[in-house]
Amino acid sequence: MLGLNKKDTMFLLIVIALTMATPFLMQPFSEGSALAQFNGGYPDLMAKVAIFGIFAIGFNILFGLTGYLSFGHAAFLGVGSYSAVWMFKILSLNVFPAIILAVIMAGLFSLVIGYISLRRSGIYFSILTLAMAEMSFRLAYSVFTPLTNGETGLQVRPSDVQLLDGPNAPEYPNIFGLLISDSYKWEVAGHVFTFNVGFYFCAVIAIIAFYISLRIFRSPFGMMLRAVKSNQNRMSYTGLNPRPYTLAAFVISGMYAGLAGGLLAVMDPLAGAERMQWTASGEVVIMTILGGAGTLLGPVLGAGAIKYLENIFSKINETVLHDWFAFLPDSIEDVVVFILSRFTGHGWALTLGLMFMLVVTFLPGGLVEGGKRFFGMFKRKPKEPDDAEHHPETPPHVAE
Amino acid sequence: MGILEVKGINKRFGGLQALGDVNLSVVENTVHALIGPNGAGKSTLLNVLVGKLAPDSGSVLFDGKSVLGRKPHEINQMGISRVFQTPEIFGDLSVIENMMIPCFARRDGSYRMHAFETVGSEKGIIEDAETMLSDVNMLEKRDMHAASLSRGDKRRLEMAMCLVQQPRLLLLDEPTAGMARADTNNTIELLKHIRDSRDITMVIIEHDMNVVFSLAERITVLAQGTPLVEDTPDNIKGHPKVQEAYLGETAVD
Ligand SMILES: Nc1ncnc2c1ncn2[C@@H]1O[C@H](COP(=O)(O)OP(=O)(O)OP(=O)(O)O)[C@@H](O)[C@H]1O
Ligand SMILES: [Mg+2]
């Protein structure tokens, strides 16, 4: 089906089913129960998982397949957001022109940055991308303030004239009139499930993005990208020019980033330059490696895990911790809360860092490898020969 | 005029004259061996031919067209393939994928973005790759990780990757080094078969004289970056200068 073999079709169907069921999967605890704070089924968070999933899927086409580690992909995310908001301001609050322009602009932008950065490989490539993304970030605050509105950020204002929208058109992002922010809440047996237009819009696009990545992985083009990572010398002496292949991968991943940026603006029509900062570029690297670089599902798992945990951990402040440990004698309680609070709330980054260290050290193939090992314990069957997506014995190598 | 004409090539590495005024003419559809002691500059000469190194002076014509200044992939697309002294293969890919890549390069040129086809649907390419693999007796290793092959198998794989491109000129840098006796003999048979069944010119660097004398029609002896003599195998065997410079201790059977 759809140009996929049986196994991949099954794979895709499972991914679709899981994505569509996210409002249930991320809301396992009933309202009012002690565990309700671990629920993650709000539209905002679920959409973020889908959006950053797209970002990481695209990033993985570059990093996972060709091995080129970009530290500047947030720049394309930012370009996508700005482009989308501009469309909202001047053309229409319909989401389609916005995300289409986001993808096109990010594609053009990544073509320029990729063309320059890909003159080098390995660590020099990484540094070049980092430098250029930082430059874009700074420029957004200075030279380009007419386009970016500087530190305030770009917003949709009532005074904006949406040229294509009629007088009765909605004043918020919408899909041909259907508001992105519309939700349907379903209460059943103490559980509250939220089905949000914005989330499902992002989810459908994420599935398309995943499907395209699956096709690329299985294509001769994808094989060439893996050849770039494996041995560029052999490639050249076999009559293939590695440069356009890498550039194509770079632009594709840039367009994915732009799409993600556009969708961020769809969920919340506001764009700020902090989206382009190097920490944001680092985040997608961490997502991809944490989930499993070079695997199909890894980036999505990485994005999901990080966005979910970020949300949960950030909510655990000292008051919550004191509540949890109230049963301890006061002096011990204070110590425990003091230590744990370094890792929660604003200290969430510390937990993420630890998690990343542990995964990279003990599970170089990321969560996907962890999953395979876990399920491998129950199977006595000898290991199947590797297929294209899994290379557990080659850890994601950062140099080159 | 030969299909490959090398004229007055010089290459220095700092104080070392790696190639000094090298002239070489290779006749089309022959096997030409390049022999000489370690460090003679044999691999360096091949590096110049495939665009890995730029010489300080001189010219290289392949089929009447200049090779110098072109990129390695362009030179390969002109019809020159090379087997390296240390195998250059795609270690992270499977054996069959290693074979398919040169097939794609031959069919589609140096770049094509076939992102919406599937590898599995490229029946013709897979067939070519498998046929070549079975020619080198490696079909049963089709799905192995190339990095996990033995050294001899890596060499055979690399040779198969070059042969499947159907190059007009094949450059072989010590193709049997590190191979077991039986594999060496198989390789000789394979190269003989290729030589006799296709229009192909080969330049072969080899230390194993058994291989050289089984295959070559002309032999050039290189010493300290300069061609010493060029002649037929029979004349080379008895040549006093060659005995002295190269074969000295390891007298030929
Ligand atoms: N890139 C380089 N930089 C500096 N010196 C080099 C380089 N490549 C080769 N040389 C030197 O040039 C000389 C010729 O080397 P080359 O590899 O061509 O020898 P060879 O005839 O292939 O020897 P062998 O039989 O050992 O393979 C050697 O002294 C080598 O050290
Ligand atoms: Mg050599």
Q: Is A292 left (phi over 0), alpha (psi -120 to 50) or beta?
A: left
Provide the token pair at B72: 């390695």
Query: Amino acid identity of B192?
Result: K
Going by alpha carbons, the residue nearest to atom 6 of ligand 1 is B13
pLDDT value for A12: 92
pLDDT value for B251: 44
CA of B154 to the centre of ligand 2 (A): 17
- Number of Cβ pairs closer than 8 Å across A and B? 113
Q: Please give the Cα distance from A284 to A119 (Å, whole number).
A: 23
Question: Considering only CB atoms, which chain B residues are within 8 Å of A240?
Answer: 73, 101, 104-105, 110-111
CA distances from B184 to A262, A273, B131 (A): 60, 63, 21
- Select from B10, B13, B226, B246 the residue to mutate for testing ligand 1; criterion: most ligand atoms less than 8 Å from CB: B13
Q: Which residue of A has its CA nearest to B108?
A: A240
Query: CA A204: distance to chain centroid?
Result: 15
pLDDT value for A319: 79
Query: What DSSP letter does each residue of B66-113 carry, written as one string?
Result: E-TT--HHHHHHHTEEEE-SS----TTSBHHHHHHHHHHHHHH-S---
pLDDT value for B246: 60
Residues with Cβ within 8 Å of B224's Cβ and at least 6 positions away in sequence, in order, are B17, B20, B40, B41
User: Where does chain B show beta strands of DSSP type E?
Assistant: 4-13, 16-26, 31-35, 57-62, 65-66, 80-83, 169-173, 201-205, 218-223, 226-231
pLDDT value for B245: 63
Provide the token pair at A203: 């989810």
Closest CA to A313 of A274, A355, A285: A355
Closest CA to A238 of B163, B42, B172, B53: B163
pLDDT value for A397: 38
Kindly give the pairing relationship between strand A178-179 and strand A174-175: antiparallel
Question: Considering only CB atoms, which chain A residues are within 8 Å of B82?
Answer: 237
**pLDDT of B189 above 80:** yes
pLDDT value for A22: 86
> Residue B240: enclosing H or E segment and its boundaries?
helix B240-242
In the predicted model, what is the mean pLDDT of residues B200-207? 94
Q: Please give the Cα distance from A158 to A269 (Å, whole number).
A: 13
Residues with Cβ within 8 Å of A81's Cβ and at least 6 positions away in sequence, in order, are A102, A154, A261, A262, A264, A265, A271, A275
pLDDT value for A380: 59
Closest CA to A252 of A209, A312, A197: A209
Query: Amino acid identity of A127?
Result: I
pLDDT value for A317: 79
Question: Considering only CB atoms, which chain A residues are within 8 Å of B99?
Answer: none
Would you call A239 and B91 a contact, using CB atoms and an 8 Å cutoff?
no
Query: Amino acid identity of B37?
Result: P
Fold of B1-79+167-253: Rossmann fold (3.40.50)
Would you call B115 and A237 a contact, using CB atoms and an 8 Å cutoff?
no
pLDDT value for A51: 96
User: What are the tens digits of pLDDT across the range B106-122?
Assistant: 999 999 988 888 998 89
Confirm if B128 and B164 have CB atoms less than 8 A apart: yes
Closest CA to A398 of A289, A272, A271: A289
pTM listed for this prediction: 0.91
- Ranges for all domains in chain B classified under CATH 3.40.50.300: 1-79+167-253
Which phi and psi angles does A391 have, rounded to 5°?
-135, 70
Burial of A242 per CB tally in 10 Å (0-12, 13-18, 19+): buried
Q: Please give the Cα distance from B183 to B176 (Å, whole number).
A: 8
Query: CA A299: distance to chain centroid?
Result: 7
Say which ligand is closest to the CA of B19. Answer: 1
- The ranges assigned to domains in chain A are 39-305, 316-373
Q: Please give the Cα distance from A239 to A221 (Å, whole number).
A: 15
Which phi and psi angles does B122 have, rounded to 5°?
-85, 70
Q: Which residue of A has its CA nearest to B78?
A: A239
Which phi and psi angles does B178 have, rounded to 5°?
80, 10
Would you call B90 and A231 a contact, using CB atoms and an 8 Å cutoff?
yes
Going by alpha carbons, the residue nearest to atom 16 of ligand 1 is B41
Report whether CATH 1.10.3470 matches the domain A39-305. yes
Helix (H, G, I), strand (E, B) or coil at A316: coil
Helix (H, G, I), strand (E, B) or coil at A359: helix
In the predicted model, what is the mean pLDDT of residues B175-192? 88
Give B252's pLDDT tier (boundaries 50, 70, 90): very low
Helix segments in chain A, DSSP class H: 6-20, 22-25, 43-60, 74-90, 95-117, 122-141, 145-148, 197-218, 220-230, 232-237, 242-267, 278-291, 298-315, 318-324, 330-343, 348-362, 366-376
CA of B6 to the centre of ligand 2 (A): 18
Confirm if B100 and B126 have CB atoms less than 8 A apart: yes
Residues with Cβ within 8 Å of A268's Cβ and at least 6 positions away in sequence, in order, are none
Q: Which residue of A has its CA nearest to B77?
A: A239
Digits of tens for pLDDT over chain A (400 positions)?
677 888 899 999 999 999 888 888 888 787 777 777 788 778 889 999 999 999 999 999 999 999 999 999 999 999 999 999 999 999 899 999 999 999 999 999 999 999 999 999 999 999 999 999 999 999 888 888 888 888 888 888 888 788 877 777 788 888 888 888 888 888 887 778 888 899 999 999 999 999 999 999 999 999 999 999 999 999 999 999 999 999 999 999 999 999 999 999 999 988 888 888 888 999 999 999 999 999 999 999 999 999 999 988 888 877 778 888 888 888 888 888 888 888 888 888 888 889 899 988 998 889 998 888 888 887 755 544 444 444 444 433 333 3
Which phi and psi angles does B8 have, rounded to 5°?
55, 40
First-to-last alpha carbon distance for chain B, in angstroms, is 34
- For tokens 């590096």, the residue is B47
pLDDT value for A61: 97
User: What are the tens digits of pLDDT across the range B123-170?
Assistant: 999 999 999 999 999 999 999 999 999 988 999 999 999 999 999 999
Helix (H, G, I), strand (E, B) or coil at A207: helix
